[in-house]
Amino acid sequence: MTSVSGASRATPERGDIAELLIGETPVMQQLRALVARVAPSSLPVLIQGPTGAGKELVAVALHRWSGRRGNLVAFNVCALGESMFEDALFGHVRGAFTGAVRDAAGFLLEADEGTVFMDEIGGLALAPQAKLLRAVETRQFRPVGAAHDRGSDFRLVAASNENLVALVGAGRFRADLAFRLRGLIINVPSLAERRGDIPLLATQLLERTALGVDLGLGAAAITTLIAQPWEGNVRQLKHVVERAALSSSGRVVTQSDVLAALAT
């Protein structure tokens, strides 16, 4: 996920969806099946789930399996100030403001024939929500300082760890935009809801962390990992496994290594 300096981009490529959405529990099998089923649709998708559960990986999987030829352009809404949102999303023309020495494409144009992924959409201020709504409805937008609209055939995927319906009720989110974003809804389970995947996840995370070193997870270490509450979900598990691997003095990550990593 990127900040205001730019969005992350990935060209479409088909691949095994299980490599992105790791797990063999029933909830993960259902999630992969749902992603594969809805990916080719052009409807907006809202990905819901707790922080750190892997919502961005779902967005990547949706794009890779969509068949769309353009880029995946991903950014975090909360990383953009309200004043910068319009320029980042729609772009600008030369001379639109001080420092605009050339035309600049916004994220929507960069995602033409591709996917734009907006993370933490619930944090978007009310004022830019109206402009986003028009772009979602018409696929038309006006760059800052431009005299005419531009068009882009983008597919919008948004993610939120907050309930948009509750935000609408609290007056923090437009009901019409929430309705548009909820064309298709994908719920990502917390790690606590799929504890059976922890041994597989931890092992794969360890393999990526070990960088070629033959390092394994001891049985007691795995048992300890399974027993944790994991309020930070997969992201927290990744950090714990990385710390445990770095502190391990042998060829096996022990329960002591895991406990020390959890205490850090």
Instruction: Express each pLDDT in 241-262 by its tens digit.
Output: 999 998 888 889 999 999 999 9
* Paired tokens of 157: 């995927």
pLDDT at 93: 83
User: Which residues are bridge partners to 230 per DSSP?
Assistant: none
d(CA 248, CA 236): 18
Round to whole Å and give the CA distance between 8 and 145. 25
pTM assigned to the model: 0.89
Q: Is the pLDDT of residue 97 over 90?
A: no
What would the pLDDT profile of 160-206 be if each residue is shown by its tens digit?
A: 999 999 999 999 999 999 999 999 999 999 999 999 999 999 999 99
Residue 68 phi/psi, 5° resolution? -75, 145
120, 123, 127, 129: CA torsion to nearest 10: 30
Q: What is the pLDDT of residues 145-166, one digit of tens each?
A: 888 999 999 999 999 999 999 9
What per-residue confidence (pLDDT) applies to 67? 92
Q: Measuring CA to CA, how many Å separate 141 from each of 73, 86, 103, 155, 173? A: 17, 10, 15, 14, 20
Residue 106 has pLDDT above 80, yes or no: yes
Residue 220: its H or E element? helix 219-227
Nearest partner of 224 among 193, 257, 264, judged by Cα: 257
The overall average pLDDT reported for the chain is 90
Q: Which residue has the higher pLDDT, 212 or 209?
A: 209
Q: Tell me, what's the pLDDT at 2?
A: 39
Residue 224 near residue 44 (C-beta atoms within 8 A): no
What are 1-39's pLDDT values in tens digits? 433 334 555 443 444 778 889 999 999 999 999 999 999
